[in-house]
């Protein structure tokens, strides 16, 4: 009997070791299968991910033969080479200024600091804002009294005690008082006072000479010319903030290059994303006989910076055979490669693609997208974070291979069976 038990225990150890070895050998496959992102339909809905069907390019035989050489040059990335400078669009830069005169009492940020919308930039001490607040309180009080008088006269008129003309006079006075109060309220709001401060002032009847200038949107502080104790006149700039809006790029093209560039076509920025041609100047520069071509980056990911000198390749608008048209937001960049997230039964798969063409409404790519692919167009940030392993505690994990789980089940079943046999013996 002891010999039989020893043999059973030895067999049990061998079974456990082999099962664990199978599991350990199967898990490295996860690192090789990192293109698949396992997500349930509920997770996709909660993440706000939306998909759109990729459009397969359809070209006629005549068009294919006439465009074969140009398509080949596009695929090999041998298009027109352009160089230009990154400039800020009007929506990408905000200039903060004071609408009232005052003295800089506090500076809350420093140059190159990132700020959010509503962040305090500078606090001014302004006797002018104090006077405006006093006038607003007076007008608000007059408006309240005019409303009470109107309500009283309206009640007397309904009882037949006063004439209708008196009610009309009271209504006109109430309207004038409301207009005057609203005008002063809008002036204070434009000067930098928030609605919360205005309501608090009406409630407490307290005035404050301090005015805090806040950022209108998030971005980075580029310039802060104000100094502590400096006298600021109305209209003087206080800070310049670069927002998160897409940048513009001003390229210079020769007359020969201009013949091949059209508005809406795409440019591949070297070592960065893509830009779309948004305008072409109707005149030549007299100094170098070039034409200004202005493009806007499609995705503002911080790859290019303001005043940076960049190079780009003209992609054009040829529809290459076997390419798929997808929205510009569907294409992401990781390292030096470009990908799209294709929907499948297990979630999404990151498929490597190559941009070969562009049109005003789509980007045409080549890759193993499968049949009738559905690509993600919204919620790209969540998918990319899950794919790269960012926020792993919240993001969906990459699904392990089925072999690992089956091996684990076999090991558990083998252990349970051996344990039952031992107990019976």
pLDDT at 64 over 50: no
Higher pLDDT, 59 or 23: 59
This model's pTM is above 0.85: no
pLDDT in tens, 203-262: 898 898 999 999 988 888 888 988 899 998 988 889 988 877 788 999 999 888 887 888
Element at 85 (helix H, strand E): strand 81-87
pLDDT band at 361 (very low <50, low <70, confident <90, very high): low
Residue 219: how many CB atoms within 10 A of its CB?
21
Query: What pLDDT is recorded for position 9?
Result: 53
Mean pLDDT throughout 85-98?
A: 84
99's tokens: 């609408």
Phi, psi of 282 (to 5 degrees): -80, 0
Query: What pLDDT is recorded for position 112?
Result: 85
Q: What is the rounded CA–CA span in Å between residue 175 and residue 171? A: 6
**Of the candidate ranges 44-58, 73-87, 245-259, the one whose mean pLDDT is the lowest:** 73-87
**Of the candidate ranges 120-129, 188-197, 386-395, 412-421, the one whose mean pLDDT is the lowest:** 412-421
Q: What is the rounded CA–CA span in Å between residue 241 and residue 248? A: 16
Cα separations in angstroms, 212 against 85, 94, 104? 35, 17, 10
pLDDT band at 403 (very low <50, low <70, confident <90, very high): very low
**Of the candidate ranges 146-155, 183-192, 235-244, 353-362, the one whose mean pLDDT is the lowest:** 353-362
Q: DSSP 3-state assignment of 289?
A: coil
Query: What pLDDT is recorded for position 16?
Result: 42
Across 233-237, 328-332, 354-358, 411-415, the highest mean pLDDT is recorded for: 233-237
């Amino acid at each position: 009997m002891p010999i039989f038990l020893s043999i059973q225990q030895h067999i049990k150890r061998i079974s456990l070791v082999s099962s664990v070895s199978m599991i350990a050998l199967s898990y490295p496959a996860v690192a090789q299968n990192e293109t698949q992102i396992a997500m349930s339909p509920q997770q996709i809905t909660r993440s706000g991910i939306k998909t759109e069907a990729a459009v397969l390019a359809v070209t006629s035989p005549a068009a294919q033969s006439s465009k074969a050489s140009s398509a080949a040059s596009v695929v090999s990335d041998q298009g027109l080479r352009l160089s230009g400078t990154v400039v800020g669009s009007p929506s990408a830069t905000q200039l903060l200024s004071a609408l009232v005169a005052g003295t800089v009492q506090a500076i809350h940020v420093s140059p190159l600091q990132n700020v959010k919308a509503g962040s305090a930039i500078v606090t001014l001490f302004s006797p002018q804002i104090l006077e405006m607040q006093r006038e607003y309180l007076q007008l608000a009080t007059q408006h309240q009294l005019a409303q009470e008088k109107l309500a009283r006269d309206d009640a007397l008129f309904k009882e037949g005690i006063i004439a209708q003309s008196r009610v009309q006079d009271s209504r006109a006075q109430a309207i004038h008082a409301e207009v005057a109060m609203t005008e002063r309220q809008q002036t204070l709001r434009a000067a930098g006072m928030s609605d919360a401060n205005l309501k608090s002032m009406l409630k407490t009847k307290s005035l404050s000479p301090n005015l805090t200038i806040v950022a209108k949107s998030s971005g980075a502080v580029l310039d802060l010319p104000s100094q502590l104790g400096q006298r600021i006149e109305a209209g003087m700039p206080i800070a310049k903030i670069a927002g998160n809006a897409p940048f513009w790029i001003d390229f210079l093209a020769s007359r020969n290059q201009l013949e091949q560039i059209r508005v809406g076509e795409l440019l591949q920025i070297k070592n960065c994303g893509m830009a779309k041609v948004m305008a072409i100047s109707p005149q030549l520069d007299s100094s170098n006989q070039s034409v200004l071509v202005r493009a806007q980056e499609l995705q503002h990911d911080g790859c290019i910076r303001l005043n940076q000198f960049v190079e780009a390749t003209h992609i054009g608008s040829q529809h290459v055979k076997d390419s798929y048209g997808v929205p510009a937001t569907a294409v992401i960049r990781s390292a030096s490669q470009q990908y799209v997230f294709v929907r499948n039964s297990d979630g999404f798969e990151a498929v490597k693609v190559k941009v070969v063409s562009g049109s005003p409404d789509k980007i045409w790519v080549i890759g193993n997208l499968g049949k009738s692919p559905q690509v993600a167009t919204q919620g790209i940030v969540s998918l990319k974070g899950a794919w790269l392993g960012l926020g792993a505690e919240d993001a969906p994990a990459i699904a392990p291979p089925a072999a690992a789980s089956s091996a684990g089940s076999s090991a558990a079943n083998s252990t349970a069976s051996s344990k039952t046999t031992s107990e019976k013996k």
